[in-house]
Amino acid sequence: MNAKSYSRSAFTLVELLVVIAIIGVLVGLLLPAVQAAREAARRMSCSNNFKQLGLSLHNYHSAYNKLLPNGTGTGPEDAGTGNQRALSALPGLSPFMEQQALWSLFANPLMPEAGESPDNPLPNGSWPAFGPRTWLDLNEYDPWQTQIPTLRCPSDPGMSALGLGMTNYAFCLGDGILRVDYSPTSQWADRGVYRGLFMRNDPKGFRDVLDGLSNTVAMAEIATDLGDRELIGSVADGTNFGDNAMGSSTSICTDIADPTRPQFAEPSISLWSNGGGSRGSRWYDCKIMLTGFNTVLPPNSPTCVLGWGTAWRSGIFSAASRHQGGCHVLMADGAVKFITESIEAGNQEADSVAKDYNNLGQASPYGLWGALGTIASREVASLP
């Protein structure tokens, strides 16, 4: 019998290496597309959050014929009782965001749990309705620690160092720099600088928007601090700057960028590093550094507070996001737009509108971006 010969087919080592190399190239080409698709989904989710906030604002206005001020609450401002009228507009919007349970918890006296000691409690030992002063009982008062999912952009990974509820959506206080977040009852207030849709302790309505709802910014994204000195989430401390010089030269703020790494602050610049008091770190607190912005520098620019005044009420507070090239804004008519970093922002060396410069009532010096932040400056400005 003749022996039969058998042939066996198989990959050679060279062929296997070629196949592996091809797979590696394909994966390398595919990964950026997957990442881009994920960011597109996060960006869409972020836009949808803003649409929900827009509906909440309009439903609130339909119910009360006014918008909430970004600075409201209980007790006189400078008293030790209540929350010193320091709540942002977000707690009042919570029942219009399908957060009725949180609103009920927030709007009623709350008994502490074992081991908790409320600041200025009621006679029965409970927290008063609408909580204590906004910087106290951070680790004890439950509403302070509640995170509303609608208030977080999926593209922003920031987390509170104190476990507090955060926000990526802030209210527009106009195009002012000096005293822009002062209460109108303050002896140092400058009524002419309150040019945005929101201000402390003074609610505005849609009828106040003489420039048109579709031409006025109501809210915008802000980026939270990751602790890495990135400009969009960090806050340059007021000790870096002198008095009100920033009011006549915004380059004082933009110059904090590191020339070798322009997305980060220069190493010699001191930053505000309190995890309970940085951008977006307390959703319920009205301070402009926490839940506000002004239309001075374009989106994704630095934020710089002035060292005079109290509670970071003067400075440049920029809109920002971790989306590529700009951020979402909510117009007063409820439309959500994406504003790029290249938006026309006027003369950055001009005097800001303030009583200090005897220019109250003038058009915004900050171009289209500044004009979009004002409600009644009679500028003919709109997005293309």
Q: 153: number of CA atoms within 13 Å, CB side? A: 27
Q: Are 232 and 155 in contact (CB under 8 A)?
A: no
Question: Which residue type does 43 have?
Answer: R
Question: Which residue type does 276 have?
Answer: G
pTM above 0.85, yes or no: yes
Q: What is the pLDDT along the chain (384 residues), one digit of tens a residue?
A: 455 555 556 668 777 888 888 888 887 777 776 666 788 888 999 999 999 999 999 999 999 999 999 999 998 877 777 888 999 999 999 999 999 999 999 999 999 999 899 988 999 999 999 999 999 999 999 999 999 999 999 999 999 988 999 999 999 999 999 999 999 988 889 999 999 999 999 999 999 999 999 999 999 999 999 989 999 999 998 777 766 788 889 999 999 999 999 999 999 998 887 666 789 999 999 999 999 999 999 999 999 998 765 668 899 999 999 999 999 999 999 999 999 999 999 999 999 999 999 999 999 999 999 999 999 988 777 776
Q: Are 331 and 211 in contact (CB under 8 A)?
A: no
Q: Are 123 and 117 in contact (CB under 8 A)?
A: no
Question: Which residue type does 13 have?
Answer: L
Quote the tokens at residue 162.
Answer: 């104190």
